[in-house]
């Protein structure tokens, strides 16, 4: 893997810091002039619903699925040796900023939904004032929402979408995805129940074809067979229904905390 003259798989990975708020060991580093995130297998904490560990494998698998869609939802992700052993490495994509910047997912005073945003739910803010959680109504974020359904993302928090200056949106933190049991928890419910567009259906049909071929074979290394079969069923289900899902009242639909 060569990027900007850097061999991402073999050139030295130098750590420059650690993300302390992450539940698993997460480091920021460089490979040549490129900034990356590194999550070693040895630094993972077992989860009750993901007891097999290997969350880094799931991150790599979601990156492969993102590439197959052509939507570029997940930054370039791969598996390699690092200072603390083998783990997931991903190109660092900082969020855009600036005085006029508005996040893709936000909290606003209750009911005050700005143009170009969709309402998700109402709640009480940190200051006990009523608030509404909203997200932008954009092609890039909608693709992320569809992608999350495909990979069964159990933790799409507001801060897990990185806004880019040109309007693109990257999604990060996909370690608890691709479980065979339904676990979709996301803040991107603004399109719940809406029909899928023709171009979205074409992308899903293309992904389904790849899952029945080389991509499916390659994912078999990173995922258990039961998880791979569930992935295929989710794509088939989206194609059959032709619409975005709605929250299941029988289980949590929003990650906690949502940011």
Q: 122-156, pLDDT tens digit by residue?
A: 998 888 899 999 999 999 999 999 999 999 999 99
77-114: pLDDT as tens digits: 999 999 999 999 999 987 776 656 778 899 999 989 99
Residue 234 lies in a domain: no
In a domain, 117, yes or no: no
In a domain, 150, yes or no: no
Domain that holds residue 25: 1-92
Query: Within the chain, which residues score under 50 in pLDDT?
Result: none
Residue 246 lies in a domain: no
Tell me, what's the pLDDT at 54?
Answer: 86
Residue 70 falls within a domain, yes or no? yes
Predicted local distance difference test score (pLDDT) of residue 134: 95
Look at residue 128 in the predicted model and tell me its pLDDT.
Answer: 86
CB 90 within 8 A of CB 67: no
β-strand 27-31 against 13-18: which pairing, if any? antiparallel
Find the DSSP H helices in the chain.
Answer: 55-69, 139-151, 198-211, 214-222, 225-241
Q: Residue 258's closest CA among 193, 191, 192, 185?
A: 185
Residue 4 counted as domain residue: yes
CATH of the domain at 3: 3.30.200
C-alpha span between 7 and 106 (Å, rounded): 37
pTM (2 d.p.): 0.93
Q: What are the Cα distances from residue 119, in Å, to 31, 100, 111, 137, 202?
A: 40, 21, 8, 10, 27
* Total number of domains in the chain: 1
- Residue 162: per-residue pLDDT: 66
Residue 40 lies in a domain: yes
Beta bridge partners of 134: 106, 119
The answer to the question of residue 60 being in a domain is yes
pLDDT at position 179, please? 95
């Amino acid at each position: 893997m060569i990027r900007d003259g850097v061999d991402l798989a073999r050139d030295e990975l130098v750590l420059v810091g650690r993300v302390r708020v992450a539940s698993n060991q997460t480091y920021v580093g460089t490979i040549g002039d490129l900034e990356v995130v590194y999550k070693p297998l040895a630094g993972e904490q077992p989860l009750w619903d993901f007891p097999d560990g290997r969350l880094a494998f799931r991150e790599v698998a979601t990156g492969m699925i993102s590439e197959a869609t052509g939507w570029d939802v997940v930054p370039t992700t791969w598996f390699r040796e690092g200072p603390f052993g083998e783990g997931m490495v991903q190109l660092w994509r900082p969020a855009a900023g600036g005085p006029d910047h508005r996040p893709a997912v936000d909290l606003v005073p209750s009911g005050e939904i700005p143009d170009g945003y969709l309402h998700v739910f109402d709640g009480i803010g940190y200051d006990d004032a009523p608030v509404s959680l909203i997200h932008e109504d954009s092609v890039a974020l909608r693709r992320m929402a569809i992608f999350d359904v495909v990979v069964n993302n159990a933790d799409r928090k507001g801060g897990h979408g990185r806004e880019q200056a040109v309007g693109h949106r990257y999604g990060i933190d996909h370690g608890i995805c691709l479980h065979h049991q339904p676990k979709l928890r996301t803040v991107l419910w603004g399109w719940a129940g809406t029909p899928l567009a023709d171009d979205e259906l074409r992308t899903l049909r293309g992904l389904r074809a790849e899952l029945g071929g080389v991509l499916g074979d390659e994912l078999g290394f990173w995922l258990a067979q039961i998880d791979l079969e569930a992935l295929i069923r989710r794509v088939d289900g989206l194609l059959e229904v032709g619409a975005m899902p709605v929250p299941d009242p029988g289980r949590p639909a929003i990650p906690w905390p949502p940011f």
